[in-house]
Structure 1
Amino acid sequence: MITLSALALLFVLAIHQQVERLHDQLSERVTLQIFEADPVARDSQERAVENILRQIPSIKQIHPVHQSELSLLVEPWLEPSLKKDITLPAMIDFTVSPKVDRLRLVNIIHQIAPSAMIDDYGSSGVALLSFLRILICFTGGVIFLIESATLFIIVLAVRILVKSCQDKIELLSLLGAEQRYIARLLCYKIGIILLKGASIGCILAMTIFGSFGYLSAYLNSPALHYPYINFLSVFILAFFVVVTIIIDIVVTHIIVSGMIGKE
Structure 2
Amino acid sequence: MSTSSASASRRTGRRSPLASAALLLIGLLATGGVYAAVTSATSADAASETQVAKLTADGEKLFAANCASCHGLQAQGTEDAPTLIGVGAASVDFQVGTGRMPMAAQGPQAEKKPVQFTDEQIAALAAWVASLGPGPSIPEAQYLEGDDLATGAELFRINCAMCHNVAGAGGALTEGKFAPALAGVEAKHIYEAMITGPQNMPVFNDANISPEDKANIISYLKYVEESGSPGGLDLGNLGPVSEGLFVWIFALGAIVAITIWLTAKSN
Structure number with larger C-alpha Rg: 2
Q: Which has the higher strand share?
A: 1
TM-score, with structure 1 as normaliser = 0.27
Relative CO higher for 1 or 2, CA cutoff 8 Å, sep ≥ 6? 1
TM-score, with structure 2 as normaliser = 0.26
Q: Which has the higher helix share?
A: 1
